[in-house]
Structure 1
Amino acid sequence: MMLERRIAGLLLLLVGMFTNGLGAFVGVNIGTDVSDIPAGTEIVAILIAHQITHVRLYDADAHMLRALSNSGIEVVVGITNEEVLGIGESPSVAAAWVNKNVAPYLPSTNITAIAVGSEVLTQIPHASPVLVSAMNYIHKALVATNLNFQVKVSTPQSMDVIPKAFPPSTATFDPSWNSTVFQILQFLKNTNSYYMLNAYPYYGYTKGDGIFPIDYALFQPLPSVKQIVDPNTLSHYNSMFDAMVDATYYSIEALNFTGISVVVTESGWPSLGGSNEPDANVENAQTYTNNLIRRVLNDSGPPSKPTFPINTYIYELFNEDKRPGPVSEKNWGVLFTNGSTVYPLTWGTSTPTGNSSGLFCVAQTDADPDKLQDGLNWACGQGQADCTPIQQGHGCFLPNTLVNHASYAYNDYYQRMQSVGGTCDFDGTAKTTTVDPSYGSCKFASSNSSTTGALTPISATAPSSPVGGWSSNLKVSQLQYLIPAAFLPLLLF
């Protein structure tokens, strides 16, 4: 029995590794400002259960590095901002850091990169004069231990080092940083490493004063009249994320460097905010994160680099409740510390964007709640949609929100009735999309999938003034899809 469990756990790990190893990958950042953070072995079990094969640590915590041993998970370890100055001023300090935090763990812990600081140029500019020295000293220490071919060295930077990111084709690094950035890029080129980018459409949107629509930040389809186009290249940008990555590529090329790939070391969306942070909510976070995963696993690049996949680390694994700052700062996590998801997550199991199997009808996230409730009532009543899956105890009940329930009901009605004139309107509260809204065990039928036979319609078109008696008891719950307790021990062999 023990052997069978070990084999089952190993097969699960191998499946995750094989699936994600063939193309672009989605990893996750693990912050530790968490009151009830699990032990390292429990975190690794959670990672394996969710088939997460790449992680980034902000430090080189010995407990986590030991726990990750023999897991196969690829690890980026971090040199903290507090350590950058000392390392940048002393080759011996750099060598000691590598000998303590990297060399002892290889090869059983699959360390593949070292991130030197985090947003050093904008967060601790006084350390910028020694940043490249720190990178060089760390790399030389890796050479001395014959680890330089396995472990890359880079340094994550925010979009703030590119003051004008749109249009992407004219983007350049802040001239005040040009000397340092040039040296960083020269180091990356010489060592065959990659540029680490922290890209946050959430901030791009919330600080943009309405310049761009929120759908653009959330990877949602835009109507033809609102397409985002670079006027110089005529490239169409379907998401702010792609534009940010492309602006970085153009900025790199403006300093006459080519062949340096961009890896997004942080990107995400907060699921909760304060009263002055209305866009930080669970619906937007769910939309952004799942669409980001689909986008990355699409295995393509931005318009200027279509064959360069955008490997990305989601920020972040758990909500860091001990972080200072606004409410949103504490609520970027995709999982709770018990392994359950903050919102339904299609990690590595969904069809990438661009390869959708059909057309779906979903509720508008900003629709009037009363109209949404009317539309839901009509779809589940007179519209004859099958609304059993969104009732409590069934696969699509969570997240228990009006938008989610309406989306399922609207789509079920639309797929059944479109062949006889059914529309996706619902008094302006619905829209069609090619992005599959399915998640976990909740599957949305599409126009190309086999659905139950079309029912005889009472009304072929969706109502402008819906009526009906179906109601939904909407009490939003955050705990969803618990990892079965019996499953975790199997993964801890």
Structure 2
Amino acid sequence: MLGSDVVPQLFFLILTLTLPFSAAYHVGVNYGTVANNLPPPHQVVNFIKTKTNINHVKIFDTNPDILAAFSGSTEISLTVTIPNSDILSLSKLPNARSWLSNHLLPFLPTTSISYIAVGNEVIATSDKTLITHLLPAMESLTLALHLANVTGILVSTPHSLGILSGSSEPPSSGKFRNGYDKAIFTPILDFHNRTKSPFMVNPYPYFGSGPETLNYALFNSNDYVFVDPVTKMNYTNMFDAQLDAVYSAMKRIGYGDVDIVVAETGWPSAGEPNQTGVGLDYAAAYNGNLIKHVNSGKGTPLMPNRVFETYIFSLFNENLKSSVSEQNFGLFKPDFTQVYDVGIMKTNKV
């Protein structure tokens, strides 16, 4: 967990964004529901449509009430998620076709679905059965979509940064964990290359920083704070360094051209009583600067001018999560009031 005794200055200046959220179509939110006090889905969808500029939403299941609520909202694209527990079954085509018929086809095309995320951070589970059936499930679902004449929906799976070797620093040295590069990631990336689907990752500078790197994690470094000794590239934030480490790992096995989607990233606005580096100012700084950075179109040092579709975690605070910090990743409270302002409301002015 983070810790810092130094409170970075002028966080609230972050709240005035230089770009309107509506111009940044590639930033979305994760809509989690691990709570007992959230408004019903139809109210959530109406709020997103009428009060915010959010147009990409990722959910962690295929909740029919949520899918139905987004019906007709074709300006909002959805990512739906299959639980890890279903991966083994869906590795068989008949089951994948049945799942598609039961869970998605009734809502198409009036509900706009862009991605199916097969599981979440499967490699991090170290479950060999899950890991070996992950790609077959992705292949089966892709074929099931084709056989159902469904176009426009791509299949992927989100990965934690634990997929990288511990030596993936500096960013140019990024590589997949030993034994996973050829056995796991070469075939997965070949699948993405063939299907033109993105490689999804969940970078969290929040988990990767300490007192001495807090400003670096929050995009608050005005000058470069790290120079990659191999590429001589300057890094002013940890988000870029993490993405470039992933890119280096992908390029190392021949798949540097596969698109990257940031499926989750965020920062909690509250934590345990003794937890430092967590609070409203920190969360506003990270997510506000993240939006500006992604919107800028600058990309990263190793991927200049590349745009990364990025999903902030999360839409709401979720009161049934297991820790105070996990309960406080939301941009909004359950009554739709902002926890802090990062410029995503339609009333925000430039």
User: TM-score of the superposition, structure 1-length normalised?
Assistant: 0.64
2:85 aligned residue (78, 82, 86): 82
CA distance in 2, matches of 1:237, 1:24: 25
CA distance in 2, matches of 1:96, 1:308: 37
1:165 shift after superposition: 3.1
Question: Is the contact between residue 23 and residue 299 of structure 1 (CA under 8 Å) also seen in structure 2?
Answer: no
State how 1:344-383 maps to structure 2 within 5 Å: 344-347=341-344
Task: State the Cα deviation string for residues 273-307 of structure 1 (Å, max 9, x = none).
Answer: 11342112111001111111111111231111112
Match of 2:12 in 1: none
CA distance in 2, matches of 1:232, 1:96: 50
1:170 shift after superposition: 0.7
Question: What RMSD over aligned residues (CA atoms) do the two structures have, in Å?
Answer: 1.9
Question: Is the contact between residue 267 and residue 313 of structure 1 (CA under 8 Å) also seen in structure 2?
Answer: yes
Q: 1:185 is matched by which residue type in structure 2?
A: L
Match of 1:461 in 2: none
Assess, with a 3 A threshold, how the Cα gap between structure 1 residues 322 and 23 changes in structure 2: closer, same or farther.
closer
Match of 1:412 in 2: none
Match of 2:327 in 1: 330
Question: Percent identical across equivalent pairs?
Answer: 33
Other structure's SS at 1:175 match: coil
2:338 aligned residue (335, 338, 341): 341
Match of 2:184 in 1: 180
CA distance in 2, matches of 1:160, 1:238: 22
Task: State the Cα deviation string for residues 416-444 of structure 1 (Å, max 9, x = none).
Answer: xxxxxxxxxxxxxxxxxxxxxxx947x8x
1:108 shift after superposition: 0.7
Gaps spanning 5+ residues in structure 1: where?
1-18, 350-438, 444-493
Match of 1:269 in 2: 267
1:94 aligned residue (93, 96, 118): 96
Match of 2:125 in 1: 123
Match of 1:135 in 2: 138
Q: 1:25 is matched by which residue type in structure 2?
A: H
Question: Is the contact between residue 34 and residue 318 of structure 1 (CA under 8 Å) also seen in structure 2?
Answer: no
CA distance in 2, matches of 1:276, 1:232: 39
Structure with greater Cα Rg: 1
- 1:66 paired to 2:63: no
Question: Is the contact between residue 69 and residue 109 of structure 1 (CA under 8 Å) also seen in structure 2?
Answer: yes
State how 1:73-472 maps to structure 2 within 5 Å: 73-88=76-91, 90-123=92-125, 125-126=127-128, 127-147=130-150, 149-163=151-165, 164-178=167-181, 179-206=183-210, 210=211, 212-223=212-223, 227-324=225-322, 326-347=323-344, 440=348
Question: Is the contact between residue 56 and residue 313 of structure 1 (CA under 8 Å) also seen in structure 2?
Answer: yes
Other structure's SS at 2:106 match: helix
Q: 2:64 is matched by which residue type in structure 1?
A: A
Higher relative contact order (CA 8 A, sep 6+): 2
Other structure's SS at 2:30 match: strand
Assess, with a 3 A threshold, how the Cα gap between structure 1 residues 255 and 134 changes in structure 2: closer, same or farther.
same
Gaps spanning 5+ residues in structure 2: where?
1-19
Assess, with a 3 A threshold, how the Cα gap between structure 1 residues 165 and 287 changes in structure 2: closer, same or farther.
same
Q: 1:262 is matched by which residue type in structure 2?
A: I
1:242 shift after superposition: 0.8
Assess, with a 3 A threshold, how the Cα gap between structure 1 residues 250 and 24 changes in structure 2: closer, same or farther.
farther
CA distance in 2, matches of 1:77, 1:277: 33
Assess, with a 3 A threshold, how the Cα gap between structure 1 residues 85 and 39 changes in structure 2: closer, same or farther.
same
CA distance in 1, matches of 2:315, 2:342: 12
CA distance in 1, matches of 2:300, 2:193: 21
After the TM superposition, which parts of structure 1 deviate over 2 Å for at least 4 consecutive aligned residues? Answer: 19-24, 123-126, 221-224
Q: 1:173 is matched by which residue type in structure 2?
A: F
